[in-house]
Homo-oligomer: A and B are copies of this chain.
């Protein structure tokens, strides 16, 4: 660790706290007229302004204060990307409370655990999600108030929630001014729980300081300004919509809120891109791919050449990146992050030095990588021996991240194993090229640890599937008494072909070292998949847990 020193006193003072309230308050001073376009519960597009919204934010703050919400309290929100959700983004943290992001797709048990663990005492719920809330009510006795958000009068709303409050009826009685407090910037702004594949969800409590710095970084990283039109595609309960609502307001951009949408209604999003001349949005390939299909179906391809589409979750296929570019001029920009990182850690920007050195094909291919660390974070590769690895494009290690918006712990958890010398351990395995670009090669749980070295199951699978006789392949690490783990390969033959295991081993030897080769290559009829059709490694790992010990 580095030495910590205190230098000469400054005359700047430290009285000016980094509060999210300032982002919106200052935007209203310079751009009161800036537009917020939103889709209401009935699916109609409507328009309001920064100034009018800020007055509703103040009403919401007065309402929360009126029902007894105090600094440090936790208020849950169960909503789509609606205007009221956007207002709560400012009102709840603005009074010093914590906005708990409730993932409406979680199982009721897990969601109840999140509400209880975070200590939420008030929950704001959109009318369309009353069923989810009602499932929670009995399991969450510490919730004092359920606030129902709807465009309809309270008399028309039927719910079994205990003593429901009506959001709009309460707001109508409130003042349009609020005496915003100055909040100690290390206080929590919001909370989001990770949905890990193992164990209970884990809580990240973001600070005002972390959110403001992440906002300033992103606005600079993507050059977002008041001439931008920002569409919030990522659900607003996922790591505060990746911070894009705050970036939009900081930049005084036009905000476009699509309300409730689904992949089945992709036209809502795709048409919004065109109708509101969207220049910045965020999402995943699973959303962007059908969006591209929709745009292809239009009589004329739209001009979206100013659009930067920040794409997370998984590596975007080259066909998607080039497809958007060729049809509309839009740029798909791959970014990497997680709930624990607020989330932006890398973004894929082409460096000027590479534009000269790389061929056109290489430049396209580079766009699939996770990109360069954004300014303000330290990204390192942790080797299996606990040392940091060089950036040579070959040394693969666990991606570790440190910075002012990276979590340093989980809420009420002693999961020390997820942290290393001030860095958060992502569980992802990657390399960093000598040009500085991060490339994820594996999930840590998919890596095979053999004799203190790592073997990439994904690389082996890709190589096996590159052979003409193989249709599908899976490689898992089976526990081994001597080597810790050894790779076992399972292959499904291409119809009409026979798999020759020796031939396959020779094929793999061309690119892999001898110790990396699977000791066993088993031919199978099919491989297990998850409910969404992805290869289910968890099942295979269980199946082959005793492969060596059982012999």
Mark each residue of chain A from 21 to 46: 1 if its CB lies under 8 Å from any CB of chain B, else 0.
01100110111111000000000000
The reply to whether the CB of A114 lies closer than 8 angstroms to some CB of chain B is no
Cβ-defined contact, A6 with B216, below 8 A: no
B-chain residues with CB within 8 Å of residue A352 when the two chains form the complex: 34, 226-227, 254
Alpha-carbon distance between A436 and B51 when the two chains are bound, in angstroms: 13
A residues near B (Cβ < 8 Å) are 2-16, 18, 22-23, 26-27, 29-34, 71-74, 96-98, 179-184, 186-189, 203-207, 209-210, 213, 216-217, 219-220, 223-227, 250-252, 254, 349, 351-353, 372-373, 375-378, 391, 402-411, 422, 436
Cβ-defined contact, A220 with B251, below 8 A: yes
The smallest C-beta distance from A31 to any residue of chain B, in angstroms, reads: 6
Ordered by A's residue number, 17 sampled pairs between the chains whose C-beta atoms are within 8 Å are: A6-B71, A6-B183, A7-B71, A7-B183, A10-B210, A12-B206, A12-B408, A27-B375, A30-B373, A31-B351, A31-B353, A34-B353, A223-B225, A226-B349, A250-B375, A251-B375, A252-B375
Alpha-carbon distance between A6 and B71 when the two chains are bound, in angstroms: 7
Cβ-defined contact, B7 with A410, below 8 A: no
Q: Which of B16, B188, B411 lies in contact with A402, CB distance below 8 A?
A: B16
Q: Which residue of B lies closest to A119 (CB)?
A: B8
* Known contacts A18-B404, A180-B2; is-contact A409 B204 (Cβ 8 Å): no
B-chain residues with CB within 8 Å of residue A29 when the two chains form the complex: 373, 378, 391, 436
* Known contacts A227-B352, A375-B250; is-contact A205 B5 (Cβ 8 Å): no
* Known contacts A352-B227, A375-B250; is-contact A188 B5 (Cβ 8 Å): no
Q: Which of A3, A8, A205, A409 has the most CB of B within 10 A?
A: A8
Q: Which residue of B lies closest to A434 (CB)?
A: B32
B-chain residues with CB within 8 Å of residue A188 when the two chains form the complex: 7-11
Cβ-defined contact, B5 with A71, below 8 A: yes
Alpha-carbon distance between A13 and B26 when the two chains are bound, in angstroms: 26
B-chain residues with CB within 8 Å of residue A404 when the two chains form the complex: 12, 16, 18
B-chain residues with CB within 8 Å of residue A5 when the two chains form the complex: 71, 96, 181-184, 187
Cβ-defined contact, A411 with B7, below 8 A: no
Q: Which of B3, B27, B206 lies in contact with A181, CB distance below 8 A?
A: B3
Q: Which residue of B lies closest to A412 (CB)?
A: B11
* Known contacts A3-B181, A96-B5, A353-B34; is-contact A10 B373 (Cβ 8 Å): no
B-chain residues with CB within 8 Å of residue A375 when the two chains form the complex: 23, 26-27, 216, 250-252
Q: Which of B15, B376, B405 lies in contact with A12, CB distance below 8 A?
A: B405
Cβ-defined contact, A10 with B181, below 8 A: no
Alpha-carbon distance between A226 and B29 when the two chains are bound, in angstroms: 31
Alpha-carbon distance between A409 and B9 when the two chains are bound, in angstroms: 11
Alpha-carbon distance between A203 and B72 when the two chains are bound, in angstroms: 39
B-chain residues with CB within 8 Å of residue A96 when the two chains form the complex: 5-7
Alpha-carbon distance between A258 and B328 when the two chains are bound, in angstroms: 42
The smallest C-beta distance from A256 to any residue of chain B, in angstroms, reads: 14
Q: Which residue of B lies closest to A254 (CB)?
A: B352
The smallest C-beta distance from A98 to any residue of chain B, in angstroms, reads: 5
Cβ-defined contact, A376 with B186, below 8 A: no
B-chain residues with CB within 8 Å of residue A220 when the two chains form the complex: 216, 219-220, 223-225, 250-251
Cβ-defined contact, A184 with B4, below 8 A: yes
Alpha-carbon distance between A29 and B203 when the two chains are bound, in angstroms: 31
B-chain residues with CB within 8 Å of residue A405 when the two chains form the complex: 12
Q: Which residue of B lies closest to A31 (CB)?
A: B351
* Known contacts A16-B403, A187-B9, A436-B31; is-contact A4 B182 (Cβ 8 Å): yes
B-chain residues with CB within 8 Å of residue A4 when the two chains form the complex: 181-184
Cβ-defined contact, B422 with A15, below 8 A: yes
* Known contacts A11-B409, A402-B16; is-contact A72 B6 (Cβ 8 Å): yes
B-chain residues with CB within 8 Å of residue A189 when the two chains form the complex: 10
B-chain residues with CB within 8 Å of residue A254 when the two chains form the complex: 352
